Amino acid sequence: MKTKQLLVIISTLFILNGCSKDYNPSDNETGISMYQTACSQCHKKDAKGFIFSFDSDNANVDYIQQRVESGSLMMPKFPNIQGEKLQQLSEYILKNSMVK
């Protein structure tokens, strides 16, 4: 029974994942609201409130922007988060992360 519930949760996550590519922030979205809508399902804050623990080379806005634009095998890309919105989101992520 527990396994079955877990499977349902995992498949729901995959469905949500498919949708996140279409995520399109409206003008009044902020860094935190974009993070909560588009990222927090996979990138939760830890007990201290940090989202990521970056290598020092990667602790910058450019790196985060590039990850959001390109995605990866494991992470969807977000082509509709652009310009000022991408800047705001990346600054929020950086401010709420730590450096290894």
List residues near ligand HEC by CB under 6 A.
17, 20, 38-39, 41-43, 52, 54, 58, 64, 67-68, 72, 74-76, 78, 89, 93
Least Å from the CB of residue 1 to ligand HEC: 26
List, as own/partner pairs, every contact residues 42-51 make where C-beta atoms lie below 8 angstroms and the sequence separation is at least 24, other chains included.
42/75, 45/96, 48/98, 49/96, 50/96, 50/97, 50/98, 51/93, 51/96, 51/97
Instruction: Please enumerate in sequence order all residues whose Cβ is within 8 A of that of 65, keeping only pairs 6 or more positions apart, or say none.
Output: 86, 87, 90
Query: Considering beta carbons, is residue 1 or 14 the nearer one to ligand HEC?
Result: 14
Query: Considering beta carbons, is residue 30 or 41 the nearer one to ligand HEC?
Result: 41
Query: Considering beta carbons, is residue 27 or 57 the nearer one to ligand HEC?
Result: 57
Query: Considering beta carbons, is residue 1 or 44 the nearer one to ligand HEC?
Result: 44
Which residue type occupies 69? E
